[in-house]
Amino acid sequence: MTPDGEDLQRAAALIRGGGLVAFPTETVYGLGANAFDAAAVARIFTAKGRPRQSPLIVHVDSIDMARTLVLAWPDAADRLARRYWPGPLTLVLPKQPSIPDIVTAGLATVGLRVPSHPLALALIRAAGMPIAAPSANPFTQLSPTTAEHVRQSLGDAVDLVLDGGPATVGIESTVLSLAGSQPLLLRPGVIPLPDIESLIGPVRMAEGAAVGAHASPGMHPQHYRPRTPLILLAAGDPPPVGRGEWLRLGREMPAEPAAYAAALYAALHRLDAQDLDWIAVERPPDAPEWAGVLDRLTRAASTSDGSQIRGESRIGVE
């Protein structure tokens, strides 16, 4: 249910007063605080159990607001923002000093995006300021795509949860850095890389695990994880022993990448509540339009050192 005007104004007042508000975006639900208030932002890290070396995305309501927060606005940023904003694209650019270091993990850059959910935009405008917001869930766990997911995972650590219905994109935004000599893809999403390159030319891919301050959210090797062990398998692989469920491409899950992304976290939340021994997910195609989904599944099925876990190696050993 969409909150009424009173709920929105209460949420905006909480943001202005240093509170935490969970709010819907088209990607996932975010846990928001005033991006200019370092103490409020520190509450986000505490509520999530998130390490300080993982920066936050700052949500703005327009290109004009974004430009007030950066030292430079290159032509590539303008092209991408005019094509994909509002939408699931985060641009990383050199930041203005007005953005506290805690938001950016001490880095000289900040990730910015304009969400397309009308309630997210209304909250930013009612608060009158940019809102720093990672996903509204404990660090490394499954991202929330409904208000109920937030309530179940964070409880009273959040001052208010705005319910805007299920997220329609379903996985986190594409993150692209324009701070260096060549564009760098830090996190894939639902926007295929060839589409981005058609606007701005060649884009490098981030390689290896992040060391020290992460250049982007979502770069930890373990991420997006249900509590139930998740196993990423090929279509013909046998399932592990024990009680579990398969998510097969074109059967339990949609065969089209955007629809798959929109359904993924909701399906994993549902299965995670069933006290299973394992969740097996059929590996999607290794194609540009599937890159965001494949990234999330690979990290969800990873060990702490980033290596892949297969079959019974995660079952019955604890």
Domain of 236 in residue numbering reads as: 230-311
pLDDT > 70: percent of the chain: 88
Work out the angle between the directed axes of helices 118-127 and 5-16 (0-180°, nearest 10).
50
Residue 285 located in a structural domain: yes
Residue 161 located in a structural domain: yes
Q: Which pLDDT score is estimated for 207?
A: 78
Nearest to 228 by CA among 309, 157, 145, 161: 309
First to last CA, the chain: 42
58-92 tens-digit pLDDT: 999 999 999 999 999 999 999 999 999 999 999 99
Would you say residue 25 has pLDDT above 50? yes
Same domain, 137 and 196: yes
Same domain, 157 and 304: no
The pLDDT mean for the chain works out to: 90
Mean pLDDT computed over 2-9: 81
Q: Which pLDDT score is estimated for 140?
A: 86
* Lowest mean pLDDT, pick from 142-151, 155-164, 239-248: 239-248
Same domain, 96 and 200: yes
Confidence label for 287 from pLDDT (cuts 50, 70 and 90): very high
Residue 213 located in a structural domain: no
Q: Which residue has the higher pLDDT, 33 or 313?
A: 33
Same domain, 268 and 124: no
174-203 tens-digit pLDDT: 999 999 999 999 999 999 999 999 999 999
Q: Report how many domains make up the chain.
A: 2
Q: Which pLDDT score is estimated for 274?
A: 96
Same domain, 36 and 103: yes
- In three-state secondary structure terms, 244 is strand
Q: Are 88 and 112 in contact (CB under 8 A)?
A: no
Would you say residue 1 has pLDDT above 50? no
**What is the rounded distance in angstroms from the CA atom of residue 88 to the CA atom of residue 172?**
7
pLDDT > 90: percent of the chain: 84
Q: Which pLDDT score is estimated for 168?
A: 97
Same domain, 167 and 56: yes
Same domain, 44 and 179: yes
Question: Rounded to 5 degrees, what are φ and ψ at 243?
Answer: -95, 120
Same domain, 120 and 267: no
Would you say residue 302 has pLDDT above 70? no
Residue 151 located in a structural domain: yes
Overall pTM > 0.75: yes
Would you say residue 314 has pLDDT above 60? no
